[in-house]
Chains A and B, each alone.
Chain A
Amino acid sequence: MTSVPGPALQEHRPNAARAMSALSKVRHFTDLPPHIQAALAELALPRHYAAGQVIYLEGEPGTTVYLLESGWVRATRTSPEGREQALLFLRPGEIFGDIAVFNGTVYPGTVVALEDADVWAIDGPALLDLVARHPELALAVIRRLADRVSHFIGLVEDLSLRSVEARLARTLLRNAEKRDGGLFVPRREWTTFDQMATRLGTVRDVLSRALHTLEEEGLLQVGRHEIVLLNPEGLARRGDK
């Protein structure tokens, strides 16, 4: 009985050109010299995860860094009471799993594919070796980690200082799309009430009450397939409370 690292690799030889293309879209990695990008691409192995499949579990040894090429994934952390808190929602061009590899510990959260996802898996020790040999790559990694720290500072601020209504208002505004002169949050951005509750660090009932409150105040309208933001300015004010 062993713990295995996930689905079988799609192919034995990495498609370096495809990996280079994926790496070129990563913030802070775009300006890396081509020979460093090529060295990274050489390490990258393609993997495919179906919707709902676990990419890694919290508490698993951090052995691999992942680059999301396509799809949408979510990182969550389970509290000691069994409640889930969303840490990150990741889009293509994002790197994840890096914290555990860089500090030599276990993954701090669980990452699950929310839809079919193609990722590049980079062996942790090999990446560390590359970082040690290339200061430009080390700087890019530091910048990425600084971005991540900024994200988590924002999350701490949200969870500790803002009400659920305020967090909801801010999240809806962040994920709104403009269409026909109006602002809409498509269903894809929250999927289910449970999903949205996890994202906001609350539970379904509280989220439902918060949505109802904002709807009663005329700030939004909840539809089957989307949430219509009727008063973005009012929502922005609510988000600051």
Chain B
Amino acid sequence: MTSPTDDHLRAAVLRALSTEPQTEGLNLRIGVLNGVVHIGGDVASGETRALAETICGQVAGVRGVVNRIQAPGAPIPSRTIHVDLSNDKGRGQ
């Protein structure tokens, strides 16, 4: 079954994105596995893509973000991986 921690993190990430004016209306897809957030979808600019990644990464307990959001100027295939192995705070593991 899904880890309760990942479930809680996913809910927290969705909440964080919905409270930021620049990301609240975006159709983003979110998955969380082992504390790493995976984000996908299409946005209009690289700045918004980067902002979404930053917001996800700031949620307590998130160990890393794999950003697969497609945006003008984003890497093709669109993928940026930032994993902070030292960030195990709040993971309960």
A residues near B, CB below 8 A? 1-6, 52-54, 56-61, 78, 80-82, 84, 103-108, 110, 112
Contacts and interface: CB of A to CB of B under 8 A. Distances in A.
8 contacts: A2-B14, A4-B28, A6-B29, A52-B78, A59-B6, A78-B81, A81-B85, A105-B2
Given A81-B83, A82-B82, A106-B6, A4 B33 contact: no
B63 interface: yes
B31 A107 contact: yes
A3 B29 contact: yes
Contacts of B83: 80-82
Contacts of A106: 2, 6, 31-33
Given A59-B10, A80-B34, A4 B29 contact: yes
A105 B82 contact: no
B66 to A, nearest CB: 6
A1 B38 contact: no
Interface string B62-93: 01101010100000111001110100000000
B77 A78 contact: no
Contacts of B23: 1
In order of increasing CB-CB distance, the 8 nearest A-B pairs are A1-B18, A59-B31, A59-B33, A57-B31, A82-B83, A60-B31, A54-B40, A57-B38
Interface in B27-60: 27-41
B76 A52 contact: yes
Nearest to A114: B77
Contacts of A5: 29
Contacts of B68: 54, 57, 110, 112
A78 B17 contact: no
Nearest to A59: B31
A78 B78 contact: no
Contacts of B40: 54, 57
B92 to A, nearest CB: 15
B25 interface: yes
Contacts of B76: 52
Contacts of A59: 6, 10, 30-33, 36-38
Interface string B6-31: 10001000110110000111111111
B31 A1 contact: no
Contacts of A56: 29, 31
B16 to A, nearest CB: 9
Nearest to A191: B77
Contacts of B64: 82
A142 to B, nearest CB: 21
B41 A4 contact: yes
A172 to B, nearest CB: 23
A151 B14 CA distance: 35
Given A53-B70, A57-B68, A1 B26 contact: yes
